[in-house]
């Protein structure tokens, strides 16, 4: 069952990637419904900045790793085997040329319930950083991942949690 769910999520990820290419899928195609009982889902909500695309690939690989191992990898290098020639896992920001920062516990902020898992090492994108954020679901079951561009002001509010 776990494998099936992982495959469904991966399919959704691929669909999300394809939808950025106008000739492969109608722009207004409805997203497939989320399968019931899914622990982690992924969504893409950023533009086609190369850094955001790289982080979307990292997001997908993290998800695959989580489905297989039931925990986040200790370091980002552990997910590089999930990449392929079409979508390689690149761990360096194409703008700052510095490696992404990863915290498997997730940084917390007093202004959001989201946790910050991966982020740009510097505010290299017009004063903002692309990030992978985990959000707890309203239902209390599972969480969603998304790549977002955080303004430096918002990013600075994230700190290490006192308790994981
Ligand atoms: Zn970047």
Q: How many A from CA of 94 to the centre of ligand 1?
A: 6
Q: How many residues does the chain have?
A: 164
Query: Can you give the pTM of this predicted structure?
Result: 0.71
Q: How many A from CA of 135 to the centre of ligand 1?
A: 21
Among 129, 132, 159, residue whose Cα is nearest residue 65? 132
Number of helices (H), then strands (E), belonging to the chain: the values are 3, 5
Q: How many A from CA of 47 to the centre of ligand 1?
A: 13
Segments in the chain below pLDDT 70:
1-47, 163-164
* CA 89/CA 120 separation, integer angstroms: 15
pLDDT digits (tens, 9 = 90+) for 3-19: 444 443 444 444 444 44
Q: What is the pLDDT of residue 121?
A: 97
Quickly count: other Cβ atoms within 10 Å of residue 136's Cβ: 13
Q: What is the pLDDT of residue 41?
A: 52
Q: What is the pLDDT of residue 153?
A: 96
Q: What is the pLDDT of residue 129?
A: 97
Q: What is the pLDDT of residue 28?
A: 56
Q: What is the pLDDT of residue 42?
A: 52
Q: What is the pLDDT of residue 138?
A: 78
Q: How many A from CA of 163 to the centre of ligand 1?
A: 28
Q: How many A from CA of 127 to the centre of ligand 1?
A: 11
Integer angstrom CA distances of residue 161 from 105, 112, 145:
8, 13, 19
């Amino acid at each position: 069952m776990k494998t099936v769910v992982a495959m469904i999520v991966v399919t959704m990820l691929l669909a999300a990637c394809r939808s950025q290419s106008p000739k492969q899928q109608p722009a207004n195609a409805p997203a497939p419904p989320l399968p019931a009982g899914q622990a982690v889902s992924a969504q893409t909500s950023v533009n086609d900045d190369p850094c955001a695309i790289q982080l979307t690939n990292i997001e997908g690989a993290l998800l695959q790793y989580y489905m297989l191992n039931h925990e986040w990898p200790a370091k980002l290098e552990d997910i590089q085997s999930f990449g392929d020639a079409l979508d390689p896992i690149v761990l360096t920001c194409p703008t700052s040329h510095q490696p992404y920062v990863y915290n498997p516990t997730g940084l917390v902020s007093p202004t959001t319930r989201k946790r910050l898992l991966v982020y740009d090492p510097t505010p290299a994108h017009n004063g903002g950083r692309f990030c992978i954020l985990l959000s707890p679901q309203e239902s209390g079951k599972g969480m969603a991942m998304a790549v977002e561009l955080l303004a430096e002001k918002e990013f600075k509010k994230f700190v290490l949690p006192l308790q994981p």
